[in-house]
Amino acid sequence: MLSIDKKRKLTFKCSRCLTTKADKLAWFQSDSNMWADSLLCRICFNEAFNLLTTKEKMTWGFYASKK
């Protein structure tokens, strides 16, 4: 069977708050978060990141444990 690649349009919009006025968007990847695999603005990214467990936070390169 042949696979046909579908073209997908990407919008510059936060997936959570739907703002188009964000200056930056970041790809949020997680296994247990509702907003996994989506583009988020800085504020929504921070809120989603804070909901992660410490074990999941340790997989991110910028996270330094406070212990």
- pLDDT at position 3: 65
- pLDDT at position 41: 93
Residue 39, φ and ψ in degrees, nearest 5: -85, 130
Torsion of CA 19, 30, 56, 48, to 10 degrees: 20
User: Can you tell me the distance from the alpha carbon of 50 to that of 47, in angstroms, rounded to the nearest whole number?
Assistant: 5
- pLDDT at position 64: 74
Chain segment 1-14, per-residue pLDDT in tens: 556 677 766 678 99
- pLDDT at position 1: 57
**Residues 56, 58, 63, 66: is their CA dihedral positive or negative?**
positive
Q: Is 51 helix (H, G, I), strand (E, B) or coil?
A: coil
**One-letter identity of residue 21:** K
Low-confidence ranges of the chain (pLDDT < 50): none
- pLDDT at position 9: 67
- pLDDT at position 28: 86
